[in-house]
């Protein structure tokens, strides 16, 4: 089984092209900066892997319209390897994730407060985690005068 799930931020706006012919299809390429879980150097600086992704058709059109530098997404797909000979006659090997599905991993407001994601020198700090609700917020609070022991306990 060849299945990849990535969560990261776009390092730049997607590069979108259209295939030739009667049934032109959108092809979007972008790079995701994906945080590494553990640091090798035992320092506090986050490190990331930069994963090349390619989306086709409707997924590429979605990327063109909604994804921008710094957007945090979850992409699922498969790894595809290939090779080509460059203009200097050297064989170049490639590894890309062919995106089958992509979704936003944070709200638009969170993205705006995060200064666009990757800034060239490391990841910005993630937005603060929400704090637990106060006892007076009205959510799942037992009104005064009602016994706290529920009948189904």
Closest CA to 5 of 128, 109, 99, 89: 99
Q: Report the C-alpha gap between 107 and 18 in whole angstroms.
A: 29
Average pLDDT, the chain: 80
Q: Are strands 91-104 and 48-56 parallel, antiparallel or unpaired?
A: parallel
pTM (two decimals) = 0.68
Q: How far is Cα of residue 87 from the mean position of the Cα atoms in its chain?
A: 33
pLDDT digits (tens, 9 = 90+) for 14-25: 999 999 988 899
State pLDDT tens for residues 111-148: 556 544 444 444 444 444 455 555 544 444 445 554 44
Cβ-defined contacts of 59-62 (< 8 Å, 24+):
59/28, 59/99, 59/100, 59/101, 59/102, 60/14, 60/16, 60/25, 60/26, 60/27, 60/28, 61/26, 61/28, 62/102
**Angle, CA 111 vertex, CA 106 and CA 116 arms, to 5°:** 135
């Amino acid at each position: 089984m060849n299945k990849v799930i990535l969560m990261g931020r776009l390092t730049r706006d997607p590069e979108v092209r259209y295939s030739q012919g009667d049934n032109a299809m959108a092809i979007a390429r972008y790079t995701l900066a994906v945080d590494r879980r553990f640091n090798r150097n035992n320092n506090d600086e986050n490190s990331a892997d930069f994963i090349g992704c390619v989306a086709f058709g409707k997924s590429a059109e979605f990327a063109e319209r909604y994804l921008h530098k710094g957007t945090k997404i979850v992409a699922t797909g498969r790894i595809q390897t290939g090779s080509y000979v460059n203009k200097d006659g050297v064989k170049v090997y490639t590894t890309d994730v062919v995106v089958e599905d992509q979704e936003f991993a944070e709200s638009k407001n969170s993205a705006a407060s995060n200064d666009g994601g990757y800034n060239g020198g490391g990841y910005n700090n993630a937005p603060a985690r929400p704090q637990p609700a106060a006892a007076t917020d009205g959510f799942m609070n037992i009104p005064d005068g009602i016994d706290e022991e529920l009948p189904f306990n």
